[in-house]
Structure 1
């Protein structure tokens, strides 16, 4: 069933006014400009303020990141296996615009593919050299298992479930109900008309700020990785000036890519990165310690599943623990929350026509498995090299996470070729992620129009690059991470409200009455009256469209009782 006319009018109105951005655009621009001015005029003051705020967040309310992300996993599983799993994100006649291969490639590369290079070795080898919470002796096989267990925790279902909740809420709101692409309309089922006023604008502005800072962190990681790779392969100095020059160059590229549209730029780049990633992973698996990697994978997955709830809810008990959580778990969970709106809008954009069940398995299941395999191949190879060698990869990672990936490739043949491939992957991940981010920021600040104007796209492409540069100047990668963590805090509340709102919307929507059994109470009270022949349903070939509840009610009212 198509979206109601009133809701279609909302999208049409947003599209008609997309060249005249409203309060969300100007409010966001003012806040971002003020932040950049603060960084330019008083970088020390900004750095100290961010550090103080981050210490408070980690020590006082960091546990909310854990609770909300675990809740997202449980909600996604409930929706996949409940009666709502067959609900289509769009009209009943809609079918996916992209093939499953292209869809998954875009999810993996545009969402957080850059993390495959930045942390694929750095996180496992760091935990291997210094096991979390003293759960193993450094440098041992048990330490390797624990290292991958915590890497799975940071990059697996906890991350993708956050994206999935945002994506489902946005896809249902835009494709099924015909709302604009803003976050605020999705909260109307529980917050009512307040979402149409200043409070709704505030929610949308928070989404813009969190998205911007979540993405600048990725830009910083990408620039650092490219600089490190160029230094090793071409001898280019690994300096701040080079990293800023990289950000400027890539900003121009991803802005031009965003102007070309999702169907051209992001789809094309994503498929290239997917092929290159598979080839590089297969190379390391075959040339590296294959048997060790295979055994480590199954044991680590078993440990992850066995300790799932313990690890999901473990919290710091000392100042040293708080520092560790700031660097790893809290930062990762906050990073995913800050990316929630950006990824959610992008996932909704490319997922029209898919069912909720397909969406859950495609967004939370497949990417988690891919990341598990990638971290095991590259992290496992690095840990084996260190176990058999002098521990140089672990030491390099503890000093600079950007060096770990290239240090691992240096332990295998064809290091020059594989390093060039790794640099190319970072660039392409960099471009596709920032490309999608620019589109989402533009949509959120164009009244939710699903096709933002080229001017707005250009403005947000430039502001993303400028923000990343100034944060780099203030405090390097650490400042980028702090900005992402702080901006994500309000989203612990927003994502919880989105989940509740989505469930309420689905339960209240009479279009989905066909997904539940008819109860005697429904017939007795007249809530739902059907003739006996309507109940004789062929369950092997269920109806393709929902029952028209209003027609049933009218027919029941016209028939005499008795």
Structure 2
């Protein structure tokens, strides 16, 4: 049974009180706890993050690897020929628009925040492991440290991250467009596991909303910190909690307007604009920086990633019992998982008419390739300054990660212009992340309706902004990381169940020759 992307199931409720109010209650508790005692909240955020990452890091590593294998399996087998919406379905958006929308929703703010900061941090503070250089303490580091740093960056931003999005997005799109069900995780689980209790479906939908709101709020917190750092540099705006709160309030208002306009008018146009600006900034850094070095580095980085792929993907820091991985790899996997309900539903919503193979190939490889180009241009340009230039970025990044990008631009001509453009890009990514997250959250709370009402969309946009500001005020970046990890951990189990259910469903339809 095929379904048009503009419609949901006609008999589904437009409002699901148990899910809406349950999610509001959980998020409200987060906010009240932070407001009641910020110092105690900050202390407990750190303690919870430590317990979660040390006790369950293995689960996150296992989960992301299983999801990647499942995606590749579905793409290369007969299931890849199935089409979302049926054999006669036509894509709703062009490929260029499709890529821009899914990428802007998926990783925009993160690339701006970590593009310079993460490679330099790994270069100056490498993990104590078998692939870390023993001479890392030298003032300028060694070439090996730079290569290891980029390998870790590619691991964190590569195929594993997008496999999480691809798996959940494919499952939701298939039940919505081929089975005529609502676009929700609850609908998918009910279709794959008919005996699942309705109360458990509601609990999972609540968890999906909380994960989405916390994951997006974490990204908005990073974005607000970076915008504040840039405004401090260009206009003397002080870097403090009040400034970040004002920034979040202004951009949340912009996101609320965008989400009120809807998918095609607001989110689509903003996605196309911020991708264009981001590409322009990337080209400027490429041309003004060490161009030949970057071309060489891209080829070598890809080779290193492929050669060390299995080892890096399954490394758990078992034998040296350090804390490096809990602060980086485990956080990333939890962050991506916490974003997965949001990004998965969003890319499902915009992927009508694609074949399973086209969907998985597009979601897995096109954004990953762009991400690798981005990280090479910004990351290796920063490492070039450390290895062969004036240096000083390591100290700047270790002092303040939000300031990293602007400290990097200080080594380039037109530094103020580039910094101003970066602030604009972070702002537009900020808006698209917030409005896309609000749209998807409203869809989940309405039982999976493709067109959630105006009031729910605006409500969730405001809630995301309030939570981001509250977490920043109560515990800073640690609180943002903790919120992503705590919500990502339980949702990993949901994703594993979805992977198993999706494989069974697609193979059943292939064998019955249903499309």
TM-score (norm 1): 0.87
- CA displacement 1:183-234 (0-9 Å, x = unmatched): 1221235532324x11110111111111111011011011011011111122
- The Cα of 1:265 is off from its aligned counterpart by 1.1
Q: Does the 8 Å CA contact 2:382/2:408 hold for their aligned counterparts?
A: yes
Work out the CA distance in 2 between the residues paired with 1:48 and 1:225. 24
Q: Which residue of 2 aligns with 1:13?
A: 11
CA contact (8 A) 2:172 2:348 kept: yes
Q: Distance in 2 between matches of 1:380 and 1:9?
A: 46
What's 2:163 paired with? 161
User: Structure 2 regions of 5+ residues with no counterpart?
Assistant: none
Aligned residue in 2 for 1:446: 446
CA contact (8 A) 1:96 1:354 kept: yes
Residue 275 of structure 2: SS of its match in structure 1? helix
Structure 1 residue 151, shift from structure 2 partner: 0.2
Q: Which residue of 2 aligns with 1:410?
A: 410
* Larger relative contact order (Cα-Cα within 8 Å, sequence gap ≥ 6): 2
Match of 2:399 in 1: 399
**Aligned-residue CA RMSD in angstroms?**
1.8
State the partner residue of 2:429: 429
Q: Could you report, residue by residue, the CA deviation over 1:49-99 in whole angstroms, capped at 9, with x for unpaired residues?
A: 332222112111111111111111111111111101111111222111111
Q: Is the Cα–Cα contact under 8 Å of residues 146 and 300 in structure 1 kept in the other structure?
A: no
Give the corresponding residue for 2:127. 132
Name the structure 1 match of 2:33: 38
For residues 37 and 193 of structure 2, the distance between their equivalents in structure 1, rounded to whole angstroms, comes to: 39
Correspondence for 2:88: 93
| Secondary structure of the structure 2 residue equivalent to 1:194 | coil
Paired position in structure 1 for 2:336: 336
Q: How do 1:74-89 and structure 2 match up within 5 A?
A: 74-89=69-84
Q: Tell me if the contact between 1:36 and 1:470 (Cα under 8 Å) persists in the aligned partners.
A: yes
> Displacement, 1:390?
4.5
Indicate the residue corresponding to 1:305 in structure 2.
306
- Asked whether 1:24 is paired with 2:19, we answer yes
CA distance in 1: counterparts of 2:299 and 2:395, whole angstroms: 26
CA deviations over 1:452-482 (Å, ceiling 9, x no partner): 1111111111111111111111111110111
The 2-side partners of 1:112 and 1:121 are apart by 15
- Among 91, 97, 102, the alignment partner of 2:97 is 102
- Residue 419 in structure 1 maps to residue 414 in structure 2: no
Instruction: Work out the CA distance in 1 between the residues paired with 2:214 and 2:59.
Output: 20
Query: Does structure 1 residue 504 correspond to structure 2 residue 504?
Result: yes
Within 2, Cα distance between the matches of 1:320 and 1:390?
Answer: 35
1:474-553 counterparts in 2 under 5 A?
A: 474-509=474-509, 513-514=512-513
Once the two structures are TM-superposed, the CA of residue 438 in structure 1 deviates from its matched residue by: 0.3
Note if contact 1:22-1:447 (Cα within 8 Å) is conserved in structure 2: no
Q: 1:10 to 1:414 in 2, by over 3 A?
A: closer
The question of whether the paired residues in 1 share the 8 Å contact of 2:7 and 2:450 is answered with no
- Residue 128 of structure 2: SS of its match in structure 1? helix
Separation of aligned partners in 1, 2:225 and 2:2? 47
Partner of 1:184: 186
Q: Which moved more, 1:51-60 or 1:129-138?
A: 129-138
Aligned structure 1 segments of 4 or more residues deviating by more than 6 angstroms = none
Q: Is the counterpart of residue 372 in structure 1 residue 372 in structure 2? A: yes
Call closer, same or farther: CA 1:227–1:191 in 2, change over 3 Å: same
**Aligned twin of 1:147:** 149
Q: Which whole-Å CA distance do the structure 1 matches of 2:170 and 2:483 have between them?
A: 26
Find the counterpart in structure 2 of residue 551 from structure 1: none
CA distance in 2, matches of 1:57, 1:478: 13
Total equivalences in the alignment: 507
CA distance in 1, matches of 2:314, 2:369: 22
Matched, 1:67 2:37: no
Q: Which has the larger radius of gyration?
A: 1
